[in-house]
Amino acid sequence: MSERVGIAILGAGIFAKEAHLPAIQAAGDKVVLRAVYSRSEGSAGTFAAFAQSTLNIDVPFYHDGGDPTKSLDSLLAREDIAAVIVVLPINTQPEIIVKALKAGKHVLSEKPVARDVASALKLIKTYEEEYKPKGLIWRVAENFEVEPGYLFAKKVIADGEIGKLQYFNLSLVAFVDESSKWYQTPWRTKPEYQGGFLLDGGVHFTALLRTILPSPITEVSAFASLNKAILAPHDTINAILRCADGTHGIWELSFGSPSSTRGALNATSITGTEGWIQIGNTQKDGKTHIKVDVHKGDETKTTVLPSCGVEKELEHFLELLGGRDEGFGEPRSVLKDVAFIEAALNSEGNLIKL
C-alpha cells in the first residue's frame, strides 16, 4: 500500500503488548499506531507509554474513565484511524467489533470469533448484512492460519510428497498454575464462556489442522474433563476425528498437566502412503520456531521457520485493505474452530457431525 494505514489497538493486555505491538513495529512504514484504548485509564496509560517508547512516536490513549473526549467513541470518531485491532476479553469483543464497524472502521479482532457458535453466527450475520456491503472489512486474527511453518507443511502435503493421507495425530499438553501470566488475567481466571482455556487456546490447534489438512474435519467424538480445579469448567479434551475424505486422527489437548515436566508437549504428525510429517516447536536464537520434519523411507528433510503468525496476520490484513485477499481470517472459516471445540466439549463420546 502506498500510504500508511492509521490503526488503533483496542485492549491493553498481555497479547496486545507482547504480540500485536511488535507486529505493528515489524510492519514498518505500512502502518502507524494512532491510539490505544483500554477500559481502565491506568492500563491504557501504561500501555500507551510502553507503545511510545517502543515505536518512538506519540500514542494518545482512551478509556472508560468518564472524560468524553477520551472515550472509545471519541477514538472511533477520528478520521485518521482507518482500522482497529480488537484485543479484548472474549465476551466483550462482539459488541466492540460492531461498534467499530458502525463507526466506519475496518476490524481485525482476536480469536476466537465469539464465545460460541450461536453468538458467532449472529455476529457474522450482522457483518454480512449491514457492514460488508458498505465495503468494510472484518477479519479474525488466527495466527496459526498464517504461520510459515504450517503453510510449508500444507504445501508438502498438497504437493503429494508423502502420498495419500491416511491418519494424523495432534497432541498439546500444557502446564498452567496460579503463577501463569495467562491465568492471572481476571477474565481467564473465572471464564464466563465454554471451555475456559480450551476455547481461548484450543482454537489455535483446530486452526492448525484446518490449515494443513486438505479435507475438512466433518465428525468428532470426544470426552472433556476437568483435572485441575483452578481451570474450570474443563481443561482437557481427548477426541477422535474424521475428515470428509475419510482420513481420520486423534486430537489431544490439555492445559491440566500436573507438572511442568509433563508440559509443554506440542507435536503433530501426518502420515501418508509414502511418508510422514512431524511438526513441533523449537527454540533458535532465543526465539520460537516451527520445525517440520518430512520423513520418506530412511531419509528425513528438516525445515525450521520462524514463528511469526501475528506479524503475518497483520501483513495479510493490510494487503486486504489494499485489495488483495488471500482468504485468511475469514469469519466463517474461523467459526469452524469454535464449532469443533463446542462439539468436543459436548460430545460425551457421541459422534457429532460438524
Q: State the pLDDT at residue 187.
A: 93
CA distances from 301 to 97, 146, 249, 297 (A): 43, 22, 24, 11
Which helix or strand (DSSP H or E) is residue 344 part of?
helix 331-346
What value does the mean pLDDT take over residues 187-213? 96
With bands split at pLDDT 50, 70 and 90, how would you rate the model's confidence at 272? very high
Name the residue with cell 511469526. Answer: 308
Rounded to 10 deg, the angle between the 117-126 and 331-346 helix axes is: 160
pLDDT in tens, 43-72: 999 999 999 999 999 999 999 988 999 999
Backbone angles phi, psi at 274, to 5 degrees: -125, 5
Q: State the pLDDT at residue 1.
A: 45
Q: State the pLDDT at residue 166.
A: 97
Q: State the pLDDT at residue 265.
A: 66
Task: For 212-231, give one letter per residue: b (16+ CB within 10 A) or e.
Answer: bbeeebeebbbebeeebeeb
Strands 31-37 and 138-141: unpaired
Q: State the pLDDT at residue 65.
A: 87
pLDDT in tens, 328-344: 999 999 999 999 999 99
260 or 11, which is more confident?
A: 11
Q: Rounded mean pLDDT of the chain?
A: 96
What value does the mean pLDDT take over residues 125-142? 98
Distance CA 154, CA 162 (A): 11
With bands split at pLDDT 50, 70 and 90, how would you rate the model's confidence at 2? low
What value does the mean pLDDT take over residues 231-243? 97
Domains of the chain, with CATH numbers?
5-141 (3.40.50.720), 144-353 (3.30.360.10)
What value does the mean pLDDT take over residues 131-151? 98
Q: Let me know the angle formed at the C-alpha of 237 by 234 and 240, rounded to the nearest 5 degrees.
A: 155
Distance CA 173, CA 187 (A): 22
What value does the mean pLDDT take over residues 247-265? 88
Say if CB 202 and CB 253 are below 8 A apart: yes
Tell whether omega for the bond before 89 is within 30 degrees of 0, i.e. cis. Answer: no
**218 pLDDT above the threshold of 80:** yes
| DSSP for residue 18 | I
With bands split at pLDDT 50, 70 and 90, how would you rate the model's confidence at 213? very high
What value does the mean pLDDT take over residues 136-147? 98
- Model pTM score: 0.96
Share of the chain above pLDDT 70, in %: 99
What value does the mean pLDDT take over residues 243-259? 96
pLDDT in tens, 287-321: 999 999 999 999 999 999 999 999 999 999 999 99
| Cα R_g (the chain), whole angstroms | 20
